[in-house]
Structure 1
């Protein structure tokens, strides 16, 4: 999947049917498409997915699925290609054609509305976390790689997404840390996406197995952007807030209780809000962060991941007359020139480089196995990397 340099813009998130004009589909003969977005095994509905198509002028018409995965999209009559994507569409998506008829609502079969895995996904086993179970429960596949495999960039660069389970940073092999940190920096710079939980913040900030304080040696995120310490205490934390609107609408709740069943979890002491976006917090303390900001120009090589995606390209769609409301989509290369002709640009709207996305959560799959509402949030992370 090619992710190409782009201006830094913010995605404005929309719920409900939208067209890139002041009066959506007004004065057009239209019909509707409805359905439910599902995970690959058909067992989990997917909220917050982007469902879109184009009119005859290549203008985008779109909606998002609600917390139950359901959507309704109104389109001009004729043969239309429907796209369903999460994240920027480079890792999870599906597309199919439908015949839109006047004043008719077409219900899409669940087999058509399943999100396909496009990404090559890897995970590193940890001592306290099993994100691979959640990946499998959604019907997707992840390959296990070892801590030492992270020291081989030929292995790392095969993947689009790498999940780092809490406790995977091997203190007995600390001599590999510097090499691994550089490899992960190169991975993200060249389009790879990374998830780290709890103690595995050490891959980002430095440290042997966890982060005991600010300015630890190692890592690849600048020390001025994030500070954490293993000072969290076990117990239930009530009234945790989801402060990201799309995440809240995707999971169907904005407040929940969160259990940390192990002590010594990574508490975030400070983060740069221009570099990180906070998605979940408790009393203004960040519990979940996301960034698209990391990029090291000295590490630019070939894009990482699945080479079979070369015919697909991520673009920032710029609505005519509404340049402040761009939206990221992934389209077939054959349609690119038509989109560039009316002002769209290559790459993701919210990235200031061709780099990938990093998610970090202070919480993870519980050692006891019962993770409650945080499972819905982690499912969202999986599908939006």
Structure 2
């Protein structure tokens, strides 16, 4: 004997009901009126859960900047059996907004991540659309170390973002690179151009192994210009350089990374190289992402000025569980350039 289900729904009033159908004969309890519909309580089938939406926004740890392309999701266990049945997810748009759909009413844990910056919060999803207030938008801050350098100061960008960090000079940085356990107390390590500790790492296999393990185990490293020794020796097949022979110039750069294009609302930016002898890329591996490129003038092996088009200026790559970002340009040399500040901020949040 087959049982058929008929669905009656009045979505305007949020009314849904499912009623069983029998063969039209009266049963012993007299629960049928002969029309074929069974109005007994036992024949009513439990309503399907209502599905709702959650709208929120993601911002920097101090609330000053909206975060683009953060990943937001909720895991749904529809029958509370401990097994995740599906995931409702979204990426934040150019103004930091996200929308999660198909959420059952009730409490859910919302997970948010952007690089090493994360957040978890319990949200009570109400019928219809629940809009979160802006004062819950802040990401939690990861643990950050900055290695001092003579020619660059990425910590200035961190200060603008209100992000806390521990600053290491050359002596203390050298000790840190020799101590993997200490390195792994940090989520991100920034190495400024002109760090003597970075240069010293090139001649210390144990420190290079520590850098490699730090990244493979989930840590992230940002390095600028001459601070290419640690990452270069730890990951020798990632990038190849022509040399430290870039000429002072203003480069009209191409923004390749889609998230950066969204943030700038442009695919172009002006980058200032005010000094000679900056690192010039030759090639990058196929699994290295070029973020920014441009036409570069440099001194070649014949001591002549050479121009190459579309060379990488900033790259990002993953190794193991971690991430490396490297830029040929400095924060310090850009002055108050809005575009480069925003590029560097996005690179920081992507680590």
User: Which is richer in strand?
Assistant: 2
Residue matched to 2:130: 106
Change (3 A) 1:175 1:253: closer
Determine whether 1:53 maps to 2:70.
Answer: no
2:293 to 281, 287, 291: 281
| Bigger shift: residues 175-184 or 119-128 | 175-184
1:169 to 187, 196, 206: 196
Alignment partners' CA distance in 2, 1:130 and 1:107: 39
Residue matched to 2:113: 85
Residue matched to 1:227: 241
| Bigger Cα Rg | 2
Name the TM-score, length of structure 1 as normaliser.
0.66
RMSD of aligned residue pairs (Cα, Å): 2.5
Determine whether 1:127 maps to 2:141.
Answer: no
Change (3 A) 1:261 1:68: farther
Residue 224 (structure 1) shift: 7.4
Q: Secondary structure at the match of 1:187?
A: helix
Residue 166 (structure 1) shift: 1.0
Residue matched to 1:147: 173
The count of residues paired between Structure 1 and Structure 2 equals 279
Deviations 1:323-365 (A, max 9, x none): xxxxxxxxxxxxxxxxxxxxxxxxxxxxxx4x41111111221
Deviations 1:225-277 (A, max 9, x none): 42241222222212x2222224433554322222222222111011222x312
Q: Secondary structure at the match of 1:253?
A: coil
Alignment partners' CA distance in 2, 1:62 and 1:171: 40
Change (3 A) 1:287 1:45: same
Does structure 2 retain, via aligned residues, the 8 Å contact 1:50–1:84?
Answer: yes
Unpaired stretches in structure 1, ≥5 consecutive residues? 1-26, 206-218, 294-352
Change (3 A) 1:67 1:364: farther
Alignment partners' CA distance in 2, 1:63 and 1:258: 32
Change (3 A) 1:183 1:31: same
Residue matched to 1:30: 51
Does structure 2 retain, via aligned residues, the 8 Å contact 1:290–1:357?
Answer: yes
Unpaired stretches in structure 2, ≥5 consecutive residues? 1-47, 79-83, 295-308
Deviations 1:186-216 (A, max 9, x none): 22232221111111112223xxxxxxxxxxx
Does structure 2 retain, via aligned residues, the 8 Å contact 1:151–1:176?
Answer: no
Alignment partners' CA distance in 1, 2:200 and 2:75: 52
Q: Secondary structure at the match of 1:288?
A: strand
Residue matched to 1:62: 89
Determine whether 1:367 maps to 2:336.
Answer: no
Residue matched to 1:71: 98
Deviations 1:303-338 (A, max 9, x none): xxxxxxxxxxxxxxxxxxxxxxxxxxxxxxxxxxxx
Name the TM-score, length of structure 2 as normaliser.
0.71
Residue matched to 1:290: 316
